[in-house]
Chains A and B, each alone.
Chain A
Amino acid sequence: MAFYIAQFLTGLASAASLFLVASGLSIIFGVTRIVNFAHGAFYMLGAYIAFTLTERFSGALGFWGGIFVAALVVAVVGVLVEMVLLRRIYHSPELFQLLATFGLTLMVQDIVVLIWGPSDLLGRRAPGFKGAVDFFGQNIPSYDLFLIVLGPVVLGILWLLFQRTRWGILVRAATQDRDMVAALGVNQKWLFTSVFAVGVFLAALGGALQIPRDAVHHAMDLRIIVEVFVVVVIGGLGSIIGAFVAAVLVSELNAFGILIFPKISIILVFLVMAVVLIVRPWGLFGKPEAPARRTPGLTVNPWRPLTSNERLAAIAMLIVAAALPFFSGNYALTVGSEIAIFVIFAVSLHFLMSVGGLASFGHAAYFGLGAYGVAFLAKLAGLPMIACLLLGPLLGLFGAAVFGFFAVQLSGVYFAMLTLAFAQIVWSIAFQWVAVTGGDNGILGVWPEKWAASPSHFYWLSLGIAALAVLILRIIVFSPFGFALRATRDSPLRSEAIGINCKRIQWTAFVIAGTVAGLAGALFAYLKGSVFPDNMGISLSVDALVMVLLGGVETVSGAVVGAIVYKALNIWLVSQTDWSKLVLGAFIVLIVVAFPKGIVGTLESIISRRRKSSSSNSPLLTSRIETAE
């Protein structure tokens, strides 16, 4: 019994930091409507800076002062980020805000390694809380007890701040109706900046307080952000009480999950999240949000199928691509195969997010599931390659069917957070369940059969499948199903009103996208001869998003162009620099701020501008969105 109580207390102690970070995310979202992906990065920065300060200054004052100052320093960084970056994108579509803050996260990951090096850092123990308390034979660290008390104390302080101060009242008012607050003479800019500073301060404090408990390392940002997303989805985005209750719940589930399913403890959290989503899709303490109004006329240039000339041009380009093996070496062919595979992956995501309006931040899960599907079938069942290629993606289909069912219950940022959390869960299973997946070592020796083994043959295979996948998805876009899907994207309410079953349509789209992504993963497994958990990692999901964005979110063929350009650049970049995350992150931020229409989108608007020499249509993505009454 004492053991279970000790386990319970450990869970409560872990909840403290989680609550701090989650409440910060919630507060920022409440007012600015931005889900700050970079919140994990601020948490990590808080830990690193606190580590340096507490090492530098001795004594109790040095320690506690160091933690507090670290949180303040990061808050100042947050203010700069808000003023320089976020102010430019408050009126951009959600996807761009998510991506820009994600780009920041990538940059911070490399910056942290640049400054503090890649190895884990062990921080100081907290003065006055170094020992442990004996509880019926179980040792409970006294620092844990400190954290257990700290959580409710912070909750109380936040409550006072929001109920009893003018600032708190203004923040709560702005959470509900920020235009009205401005119309009462409140300067929104500074309100937003101060809210962001408070949220970032909480995240950094959460990170700084972790140093006596855990090693500081450069992957802690992603670990916390996924847990935080799970917490806010369960607790309800925007609710501080919800963040507290859900943080405790998730931490306890983790603490006891390890006892029940030692290998895949995260399953328990997933199950609880699934139940909450079915019963209360907006979270335990959240409020249902009105369906988000889409950007009016999101697609400035209406989509149309290719004209016959354009079809001929596409076929000609395909023939040129198919001729590559006749005049290039094996390395170029391997790169070519990889690009073809990523074209498949990118068009599958494009189908989901541009056609379906569902921006998934965890699309790599289905890519990876397809890859693992092939690996299982080839290594364990010993099936021939053709059968593997046909059946392997079914694992992606299965995953998309299960996760998609839950994900389409939500929309917008919730959808993005949930898909990311699902992808991380799949990743954790691949990582933790060593007996089946090989864990970090992956599954090796998945090589193509003889008929496809040569680089040129494999290239033709990849190219052929890519062409087929693009063709099929394009046909679907212009089929009745595609029209229904786009109607659902543009206005869920109106679609329901004309008899479209929105959730069903979106679920179907999710499954189609997941299956096609699985197909890409299956090919990828054969290309690399192996599968690893990173094949379903978050960076791969983001790669896909950037490909679609680079090509042009609003276009039909952007994903193809984006995938080719991005993958080629990426392969070249990785060979040139050790700091590819820094460059990539900056690149993402740059596209979002300066180049939101992407390559194809920009080309299209240039062409349409030429056609009607002075078009009065303003580019809606870059202009501010106004809602007519």
Chain B
Amino acid sequence: MKLQVKDLNSFYGPAHILFDIALDVGEGEVVALLGRNGAGKSTTFRSIVGLVENRSGRIVFEGRDVSREPTHAIVRGGLGYVPEERRIFTDLTVEENLEVGRQQRRDNAPYWTREKLFTLFPNLGEMRGRAGGRMSGGEQQMLTIARTLMGNPSLVLLDEPSEGLSPKIVEQMVDAILAMKKEGVSIVVSEQNLHFARLISDRAYIIERGRICFGGTMDELDARPDIRDAHLSL
């Protein structure tokens, strides 16, 4: 088991956001976390990497409980995080953005170099010196993913990678994610777009109002249109 989340509860101030979240991710698996806006997808990811301080529960990554560790230590352990809203550093160039994400080589994870990432995301290779703030939304989204891969993670949390992108860019995104999977990176991807999720995922969880209400393979999800229609907007 790559990542195991158990009894995860999170709070923003006095507000209880996540209730007993449980997730499993196997070695080399792509798992989708589906849910509507505000269902708790981003908070789940932020809680796993320790960006939400006020949380309880067990987060076991590669057999080690990381729930007491600070964010940077969790990430250094090989758990990569790609935030939504494309938080690239707008004042930094493409290459400098990648440099911020760079970490040492890891034995159990693929090793990414700048050049390798530029073949995965050819657009980025053509604008190495451009400031992050002067890129299109799709290019920024690629850059956030590439930046996290520079840390050579063995598992990546991808927060809504298709959000707000044109269909053509979404296609490229699907290819990139499948390429990452082929390299052996385990991936948890949060999505509202079931179609996108189906193209890349092995299994899916559905989250609604901070609770996991379904977990199973994509086929099992398709066999339950009632659940799909109740919790996802298509």
Hey, which chain A residues are within 8 Å of B75, CB to CB? 182-185
Hey, which chain B residues are within 8 Å of A184, CB to CB? 75, 100-101, 147-148, 151
- How far does the Cβ of A614 sit from chain B's closest Cβ, in whole Å? 13
**Contact for A181 among B52, B81, B100, B103, CB less than 8 A:** B100
**Contact for A166 among B49, B52, B97, B99, CB less than 8 A:** B99
| A window 156-175: CB within 8 A of B | 166, 169-170, 172-173, 175
- How far does the Cβ of A247 sit from chain B's closest Cβ, in whole Å? 22
| Chain B 69-88 per-residue mask, 1 if CB under 8 angstroms from chain A, else 0 | 01111011000010100010
* B91 x A188 contact (CB < 8 A): no
- For residue A618, CB closer than 8 A to chain B, the reply is yes
**Contact for B13 among A166, A173, A179, A628, CB less than 8 A:** A628
**Contact for B100 among A186, A188, A629, CB less than 8 A:** A186
- How far does the Cβ of A194 sit from chain B's closest Cβ, in whole Å? 14
Hey, which chain B residues are within 8 Å of A384, CB to CB? none
| Chain B 54-96 per-residue mask, 1 if CB under 8 angstroms from chain A, else 0 | 1000000000000000111101100001010001011110001
* A624 x B53 contact (CB < 8 A): yes
- For residue B199, CB closer than 8 A to chain A, the reply is no
- How far does the Cβ of B28 sit from chain A's closest Cβ, in whole Å? 22
User: Which chain A residue has the least Cβ–Cβ distance from B79?
Assistant: A185
- How far does the Cβ of A181 sit from chain B's closest Cβ, in whole Å? 6
Hey, which chain A residues are within 8 Å of B213, CB to CB? none
Hey, which chain B residues are within 8 Å of A620, CB to CB? 13
Hey, which chain A residues are within 8 Å of B70, CB to CB? 182, 187
User: Which chain B residue has the least Cβ–Cβ distance from A185?
Assistant: B75
CA distance in complex: A176, B89 (Å): 7
Hey, which chain A residues are within 8 Å of B91, CB to CB? 172, 175-176
- How far does the Cβ of A159 sit from chain B's closest Cβ, in whole Å? 14
- How far does the Cβ of B26 sit from chain A's closest Cβ, in whole Å? 24
CA distance in complex: A173, B99 (Å): 10
- How far does the Cβ of A240 sit from chain B's closest Cβ, in whole Å? 13
CA distance in complex: A166, B51 (Å): 24
- How far does the Cβ of B81 sit from chain A's closest Cβ, in whole Å? 5
- For residue A278, CB closer than 8 A to chain B, the reply is no
**Contact for A180 among B43, B73, B87, CB less than 8 A:** B87
CA distance in complex: A185, B152 (Å): 11
- For residue B234, CB closer than 8 A to chain A, the reply is no
CA distance in complex: A185, B103 (Å): 8
- For residue B14, CB closer than 8 A to chain A, the reply is yes
CA distance in complex: A179, B72 (Å): 9
- How far does the Cβ of A90 sit from chain B's closest Cβ, in whole Å? 13
CA distance in complex: A626, B55 (Å): 12
- For residue A152, CB closer than 8 A to chain B, the reply is no
* A618 x B49 contact (CB < 8 A): no
* A185 x B72 contact (CB < 8 A): yes
* B92 x A617 contact (CB < 8 A): no
Hey, which chain A residues are within 8 Å of B15, CB to CB? 628
- For residue A616, CB closer than 8 A to chain B, the reply is yes
* A170 x B14 contact (CB < 8 A): no
Measured as residues with beta carbon below 8 angstroms from the partner, the interface class of chain B is 20 to 34
CA distance in complex: A471, B76 (Å): 58
User: Which chain B residue has the least Cβ–Cβ distance from A175?
Assistant: B91
Given known A177-B87, A182-B71, contact A626–B42 (CB-CB < 8 A): no
CA distance in complex: A166, B42 (Å): 30
CA distance in complex: A177, B49 (Å): 16
Given known A169-B92, A169-B99, A618-B13, contact A185–B151 (CB-CB < 8 A): yes
CA distance in complex: A620, B81 (Å): 29
| B window 128-162: CB within 8 A of A | 147-148, 151
| B window 187-225: CB within 8 A of A | none
* A173 x B92 contact (CB < 8 A): yes
- For residue A329, CB closer than 8 A to chain B, the reply is no
Hey, which chain B residues are within 8 Å of A188, CB to CB? 72
- For residue A296, CB closer than 8 A to chain B, the reply is yes
Hey, which chain B residues are within 8 Å of A297, CB to CB? 13
| Chain A 284-325 per-residue mask, 1 if CB under 8 angstroms from chain B, else 0 | 000000000000110000000000000000000000000000
* A296 x B100 contact (CB < 8 A): no
* A618 x B14 contact (CB < 8 A): yes
* B53 x A626 contact (CB < 8 A): yes
- How far does the Cβ of A158 sit from chain B's closest Cβ, in whole Å? 16
| A window 174-230: CB within 8 A of B | 175-177, 179-188
- How far does the Cβ of A170 sit from chain B's closest Cβ, in whole Å? 6
CA distance in complex: A169, B76 (Å): 18
- How far does the Cβ of B142 sit from chain A's closest Cβ, in whole Å? 16
| A window 360-409: CB within 8 A of B | none
- How far does the Cβ of B223 sit from chain A's closest Cβ, in whole Å? 33
* B89 x A186 contact (CB < 8 A): no
- How far does the Cβ of B85 sit from chain A's closest Cβ, in whole Å? 9
Given known A182-B72, A184-B147, contact A626–B13 (CB-CB < 8 A): yes
* B14 x A629 contact (CB < 8 A): no
CA distance in complex: A160, B76 (Å): 28
| Chain A 243-257 per-residue mask, 1 if CB under 8 angstroms from chain B, else 0 | 000000000000000
* A617 x B14 contact (CB < 8 A): yes
CA distance in complex: A616, B15 (Å): 10
* A177 x B13 contact (CB < 8 A): no
CA distance in complex: A185, B51 (Å): 12
Hey, which chain A residues are within 8 Å of B96, CB to CB? 169, 172-173
CA distance in complex: A624, B83 (Å): 22
| A window 54-79: CB within 8 A of B | none
Hey, which chain B residues are within 8 Å of A175, CB to CB? 91
User: Which of A173, A177, A617, A618 has the largest count of B CB atoms less than 10 A from its CB?
Assistant: A173
- How far does the Cβ of B113 sit from chain A's closest Cβ, in whole Å? 16
User: Which chain B residue has the least Cβ–Cβ distance from A297?
Assistant: B13
* A626 x B100 contact (CB < 8 A): no
Given known A183-B83, A186-B100, contact A626–B52 (CB-CB < 8 A): yes
CA distance in complex: A247, B143 (Å): 38
CA distance in complex: A183, B96 (Å): 16
- How far does the Cβ of A17 sit from chain B's closest Cβ, in whole Å? 28
* A180 x B71 contact (CB < 8 A): no
- How far does the Cβ of A621 sit from chain B's closest Cβ, in whole Å? 13
* A169 x B81 contact (CB < 8 A): no
CA distance in complex: A629, B87 (Å): 14
Given known A173-B89, A184-B100, contact A626–B54 (CB-CB < 8 A): yes
- How far does the Cβ of A227 sit from chain B's closest Cβ, in whole Å? 28
- How far does the Cβ of A242 sit from chain B's closest Cβ, in whole Å? 14
User: Which chain B residue has the least Cβ–Cβ distance from A188?
Assistant: B72
Given known A169-B100, A183-B81, contact A176–B52 (CB-CB < 8 A): no
Hey, which chain B residues are within 8 Å of A626, CB to CB? 12-13, 52-54
CA distance in complex: A297, B14 (Å): 11
User: Which chain B residue has the least Cβ–Cβ distance from A176?
Assistant: B89
- How far does the Cβ of B134 sit from chain A's closest Cβ, in whole Å? 15
* A177 x B81 contact (CB < 8 A): no
- How far does the Cβ of A424 sit from chain B's closest Cβ, in whole Å? 33
Hey, which chain A residues are within 8 Å of B90, CB to CB? 176
- How far does the Cβ of B161 sit from chain A's closest Cβ, in whole Å? 16
- How far does the Cβ of B147 sit from chain A's closest Cβ, in whole Å? 7
Hey, which chain A residues are within 8 Å of B13, CB to CB? 296-297, 618, 620, 626, 628
| Chain B 100-127 per-residue mask, 1 if CB under 8 angstroms from chain A, else 0 | 1111000000000000000000000000
CA distance in complex: A175, B71 (Å): 18
* A173 x B14 contact (CB < 8 A): no
* B12 x A628 contact (CB < 8 A): yes
Closest 5 CB pairs of A and B: A185-B75, A628-B12, A185-B76, A182-B71, A173-B100
A-B contact pairs, 14 of them (CB 8 A): A172-B96, A173-B92, A177-B89, A179-B51, A180-B83, A180-B87, A184-B148, A185-B103, A186-B72, A616-B14, A617-B14, A624-B53, A626-B52, A626-B53
Having A184-B147, A187-B70, A629-B43, one finds 5 other A-B pairs with CB under 8 Å, namely: A173-B89, A173-B92, A617-B14, A618-B13, A626-B53
